[in-house]
Chains A and B, each alone.
Chain A
Amino acid sequence: MAITLRYFAEVRDRVGRASETADLPAGVRDGAALIEWLAAREPQAAEALNRPSLRLIVNDEISPLSAAIHDGDDIAVCPPFSGG
């Protein structure tokens, strides 16, 4: 399953890129599993990824970590927003 990942703020700094295409292992089917997989692949970003305040934006919709992930999804990995 291939998805697009976009990183922001501290997560982007730690991962070292703004976006990428990733091929997910078969067992990764929701947001929580995606973050777990990502944290294992990018240990330097694990602390930033494992914060309870982390949110995902899946195909332009703010989504809980329980959201299902499908082939072709565009997923933004979002630390807490801080606008204004």
Chain B
Amino acid sequence: MDGSPPRADARIIVTVQDAPFDPGALLSGFCETAADCGAAASFTGLVRGDGGLTALELQHLPRVTETALRRIADHAAARWGLRAALIVHRTGRMAPGEAIVIVAAAAPHRRAAISAAEFMIDVLKTEAPFWKKEIRPDGEKWIEPTEADAGAAARWLEKE
């Protein structure tokens, strides 16, 4: 994950916050800063409210989390020649249907933007110090990454 330096002119925004965010508003703002690009791709993760989930709780390690996200965004910017990248991640307690994370990538052409967005969300899941707990009426459970999650991150990191 270290190695290639970011493009000097890529605009990178990384935020970790307890407060809810509006993915639509963030994406609109992101597109306004990407007027020099032909493509902006994004992914929004939502709290999946299945199986009677009442809340999701997210812990993180401040400062280290921001550094890890920044490194992921810088890496994506260097690898796909992005003009801009955005990662916003929530922490604390969230209700079903709320947005947990948004990643966005802007590039001259669609393929680079789509791949970079996919890379950022896949790698973020296993390489940034977040932990999430599902809270249901019958108990609480810490979520561990699945083999599919690990495989998705490894697929990007091995390709280098």
Residues on A close to B: CB < 8 A? 6, 8-10, 12-13, 53, 57, 60, 62, 76, 78-84
B4-12, B56-64, B76-84 - interface stretch = B56-64
| Contact present for B101 and A83 (CB under 8 Å) | yes
B101 to A, closest residue via Cβ: A84
Counting chain B CB atoms within 10 Å of each CB, the highest count among A9, A62, A79, A82 belongs to A82
Rank and list the top 3 A-B pairs by shortest CB-CB distance, nearest first.
Answer: A83-B130, A9-B131, A84-B125
Within 8 A of A (CB), among B90-130: 100-101, 121, 124-130
Query: A6, A76, A80, A84: which contacts B144 (Cβ < 8 A)?
Result: A80
Query: A13, A53, A81: which contacts B129 (Cβ < 8 A)?
Result: A81
CA–CA, A10 and B45, complex, Å? 23
Give the secondary structure class of B's interface.
mixed
| Contact present for B124 and A76 (CB under 8 Å) | no
Query: A6, A10, A57, A60: which contacts B142 (Cβ < 8 A)?
Result: A10
- Number of B residues near A (Cβ < 8 Å) is 27
- A60 CB to closest chain B CB, in angstroms? 5
| Contact present for B132 and A82 (CB under 8 Å) | yes
- Are A8 and B145 also in contact (CB < 8 A) when A60-B67, A78-B129 are? no
| Contact present for B133 and A9 (CB under 8 Å) | yes
Residues of A contacting B129 in the complex (Cβ-Cβ under 8 angstroms): 8, 57, 62, 76, 78, 81, 83
